[in-house]
Amino acid sequence: MSSGQPQPALFLSKVERRYPQGETSLEVLRGGDLAIWPGEMVALVAPSGTGKSTLLHLAGLLEKPDGGEIYVGGRPTAAMDDSERTRIRREDLGFVYQFHHLLPEFSALENVVIPQLIRGLSKADARSRASQLLTFLGLGKRLDHRPGELSGGEQQRVAIARAVANAPRLLLADEPTGNLDPNTADRVFQTLVAIVRASKLAALIATHNLELASRMDRQVTIRDGLIVPLT
């Protein structure tokens, strides 16, 4: 990709992914193309078994493609070794899952501090940024509460703060509201929108919730191994 022009945060070019199945193989992607730009929220709406998780794993550099290229911030990643891919995941990517996966023995603040310490920030700077993020997400009075003392929606907002603590280029979310009741899901989704717009993040959000998907900038699905607009 040209380095002189603005770059998508994520660009998949003719990506292929297949899995061996006995003497044959299951072809999940057979030339998938997708570009997501800074500040853009893209909904990934696809039935189970069509490759939604595979696409998120590829975008998150958790799997390598069998063909094609995946660019993060304009950099090709397919040929990177594991240490380079780990560094990109740590510095440029944020992940939110259906279940928050917070560390239960640590407070909300500490859960957001830890990934920043791993990246090399000072403890003072990490605590300051964590406090700012959690306050922005409406949790300023819950900083010292452990996950077990928080509601499901509050836990997921802590998970979002943790995902963006290192100021990634791209946020990847897999059913981030799927475990929540409709009202809480709506509040968590509003939190996602606020953080994406304020940070100019790019976001790829897998969801079965068509109403939430309709509120994002674009909706895509996987059909016949290709990434296509949802119609």
Tokens representing 45 are 């709406």
Query: pLDDT tens for residues 185-225?
Result: 888 888 888 888 888 899 999 988 888 899 999 999 999 88
Query: pLDDT tens for residues 38-64?
Result: 999 999 998 777 788 899 999 999 999
pLDDT in tens, the chain (231 residues): 555 567 899 999 999 998 888 888 888 999 989 999 999 999 999 877 778 889 999 999 999 999 999 999 999 998 899 999 998 988 899 988 877 789 999 999 999 999 899 888 899 999 999 998 899 888 899 999 999 999 888 998 899 899 888 889 999 998 888 777 888 888 888 888 888 888 889 999 998 888 889 999 999 999 988 999 987
DSSP characters over 51-75: SHHHHHHHHTTSS--SEEEEEETTE
116: Cβ contacts below 8 Å, ≥ 6 apart: 125, 126, 129, 130, 165, 166
Crossing angle for the helix pair 108-119 and 152-164, nearest 10 degrees? 20
Considering only the top CATH level, what class is 10-229? alpha beta
| Residue 129: φ, ψ to 5° | -65, -40
1-22 burial code (b ≥16 CB/10 A, e <16)? eeeeeebbbbbbbebbbbeeee
Please state the pTM of the whole predicted model: 0.87
